[in-house]
C-alpha cells in the first residue's frame, strides 16, 4: 500500500490542531493570559492603549517600538511588542524581542515558556527545546514545561518516544483534569506512530 504524502494544507491543519490543544492547556492553568487572541501564526495580547481601539496595528507596533527604544529594560513593553510581532506574523522579530525580555528576567517561568511556545510556532524547535530544558532544570515541578516539551519533541522533532516520556511526566505532576485526559489520548496516538514506524 502506497502511503499518501501529506499536503501543505494537511500539515498546516495538523499543526493548528496541535497549537489549539497546547493553547487550551496553557489557558486552563493561567500560563497565557485570557486576553491573548489567536492570530494567524501566533498569539497576540494587545497593549492597554489598543484594547480601547485607539491605535491601529501599525501604530501599536510603532508606539511599542518607541517605548522599548526609550527604555530597553522595560520587560513588560518588550513582552507586549513580542506578542504584537508574533500576532502579525513577524516571527523573527518576536523571537528576538522575547530573547531580550528573558535575558532581563531569566527566572520568569511564564516568560520563558512564552519564548519556547513562540519558538515552537516558528518551527525553531531547537530554541524551544533549549528554553524548556532550562526551565525544567530550574523548576522541575513545572508541569506546563513538560507538556510543551513533549509536543516539541514529538510533533516538531518527530521524536515520539521522548515526547511520550515528557507527557508522562506532565501526567505524573498534574495527576488529573481535562489536560491529563488529552495527554493520555495524545500518548496513544504517538504510540501508534511508533508502531507504524517500527
Model confidence over 89-123: pLDDT tens digits?
899 999 999 999 999 999 999 999 999 999 999 99
Model confidence over 14-47: pLDDT tens digits?
555 555 555 555 544 444 443 333 333 333 333 3
Model confidence, pTM: 0.75
Residue 154 to residue 152: CA distance in whole angstroms: 6
Residue 116 to residue 95: CA distance in whole angstroms: 9
Residue ranges per structural domain of the chain:
36-105, 125-198
Query: Are 61 and 81 a contacting pair, CB within 8 Å?
Result: yes
Does the pLDDT of residue 77 top 50, yes or no?
yes
Domains 36-105 and 125-198 in one fold: yes
CATH homologous superfamily for the domain 125-198: Tetratricopeptide repeat domain (1.25.40.10)
Residue 33 to residue 38: CA distance in whole angstroms: 12
Which CATH number among 3.40.50.10440, 3.40.50.970, 1.10.357.10, 1.25.40.10 corresponds to the domain 36-105? 1.25.40.10
What 152-156 contacts at long range (C-beta under 8 Å, 24+ apart), as own/partner pairs, is 152/116, 152/120, 152/125, 152/128, 153/129, 154/190, 154/193, 155/14, 155/15, 155/18, 156/120, 156/123, 156/125, 156/128
Band (pLDDT 50/70/90 cuts) for residue 158 is very high
The reported pLDDT for the residue numbered 182 is: 93
Residue 31 three-state SS: coil
With 0-12 / 13-18 / 19 or more C-beta atoms within 10 angstroms meaning exposed / middle / buried, residue 75 is middle
Amino acid at each position: 500500500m502506497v502511503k499518501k504524502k501529506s499536503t501543505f494544507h494537511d500539515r498546516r491543519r495538523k499543526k493548528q490542531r496541535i497549537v489549539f490543544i497546547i493553547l487550551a492547556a496553557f489557558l486552563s492553568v493561567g500560563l497565557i493570559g485570557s486576553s491573548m487572541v489567536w492570530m494567524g501564526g501566533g498569539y497576540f495580547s494587545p497593549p492597554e492603549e489598543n484594547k480601547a481601539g485607539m491605535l491601529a496595528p501599525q501604530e501599536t507596533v510603532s508606539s511599542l517600538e518607541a517605548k522599548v527604544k526609550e527604555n530597553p529594560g522595560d520587560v513588560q513593553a518588550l513582552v507586549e511588542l513580542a506578542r504584537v510581532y508574533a500576532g502579525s506574523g513577524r516571527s523573527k522579530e518576536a523571537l528576538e524581542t522575547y530573547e531580550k525580555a528573558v535575558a532581563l528576567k531569566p527566572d520568569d517561568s511564564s516568560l520563558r515558556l512564552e519564548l519556547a511556545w513562540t519558538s515552537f510556532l516558528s518551527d525553531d524547535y531547537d530554541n524551544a527545546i533549549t528554553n524548556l530544558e532550562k526551565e525544567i532544570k530550574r523548576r522541575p515541578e513545572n508541569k506546563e514545561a513538560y507538556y510543551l516539551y513533549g509536543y516539541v519533541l514529538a510533533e516538531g522533532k518527530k521524536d515520539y518516544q521522548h515526547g511520550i516520556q515528557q507527557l508522562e511526566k506532565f501526567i505524573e505532576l498534574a495527576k488529573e483534569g481535562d489536560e491529563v485526559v488529552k495527554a493520555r489520548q495524545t500518548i496513544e496516538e504517538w504510540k501508534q506512530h511508533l508502531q507504524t514506524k517500527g
